[in-house]
Amino acid sequence: MAGLFSGRPGSRPGEHDGHHNGPQHTSSSPSTTTRSAAGELLRKKSGDYGRIAVTPEDDRRVLRRVDSVLLPIMLTVYFLQVADKTTLSYSSVFGLIEDIGLEGDQYSWLGSIVYLAQLIMQFPLAWLLVRLPIAKFTSVMVLLWGTTLCLMAATHDFGSMMVARFCLGAFEATIGPSFVAITAMWWKRGEQTNRTSYWYAMNGVAGTLGSLITYGIGHIQSSLRPYQLIFLFFGFTTIAFSFIMLLYMPDSPMEAKFLDDHDRLVAIERLRVNQMGSVSREWRGDHLREAIFDLKTWLWFGLMLAISIPSGGINTFGPLIISTFGFDKFQTTLFNMPYGVIQGIAILGGSYLATKWKRKGIIIMWLCCPVIVGYTIMLALPHDASHQASLLFGYYLMSIYPGITPLLYSWSTQNTAGDTKSKCTNAILFLGQSLGNIIGPLLYSQADAPAYSRGLACNLLMFVAVILLSMVTSVHLHRLNKKHARMRVAVGKSAVIIDTSLDSPEEAATRKRDGGRVVQDEASESLMARAAEEGDGHRASRERSSERVGDHAFDDLTDLKNEEFVFVL
Domain span at residue 314 reads: 56-259+267-272+283-480
More confident residue, 353 or 25: 353
User: Does residue 528 have a pLDDT over 50?
Assistant: no
Alpha helices by DSSP H, 294-442: 295-323, 329-335, 337-357, 361-380, 388-398, 404-414, 419-442
Nearest to residue 434, comparing CAs of 121, 215, 200? 121
| List of residues 6+ apart from 457 with CB closer than 8 A | 375, 379
Question: Nearest 5°: phi and psi at 270?
Answer: -65, -15
**Domains: count for the chain:** 1
Q: Give the range among 9-13, 264-268, 462-466 with minimum mean pLDDT.
A: 9-13
In a domain, 501, yes or no: no
- The CATH number of the domain holding residue 104 is 1.20.1250.20
Q: What is the pLDDT of residue 468?
A: 97
Q: What is the pLDDT of residue 25?
A: 39
In a domain, 161, yes or no: yes
Q: How confident is the model at residue 508 (pLDDT cuts 50, 70, 90)?
A: low
Question: What's the average model confidence in pLDDT over 174-193?
Answer: 92
Q: How far apart are CA 455 and CA 553, in angstroms?
A: 46
Q: What is the pLDDT of residue 349?
A: 94
Question: pLDDT tens, 312-351?
Answer: 777 667 777 777 777 776 777 677 778 778 888 999 999 9
Highest average pLDDT, of 217-226, 332-341, 374-383, 541-550, comes from 374-383
In a domain, 534, yes or no: no
Q: Give the range among 25-29, 160-164, 393-397 with minimum mean pLDDT.
A: 25-29
Exposure on the CB side of residue 137, measured as CA atoms within 13 A: 21
In a domain, 518, yes or no: no
In a domain, 417, yes or no: yes
For the beta carbon of residue 126, count every other beta carbon within 10 angstroms.
25
In a domain, 444, yes or no: yes
Residue type present at position 301:
F
Measured on CA atoms in the order 181, 183, 189, 193, is the torsion positive or negative? Answer: negative
Exposure letters 149-184 (e unless 16+ CB within 10 A, then b): bbbbbebeebeebeebbbbbbbbbbbbbbbbbbbbb
Q: How confident is the model at residue 531 (pLDDT cuts 50, 70, 90)?
A: very low
In a domain, 301, yes or no: yes
Over the chain, what is the mean pLDDT?
81
In a domain, 496, yes or no: no
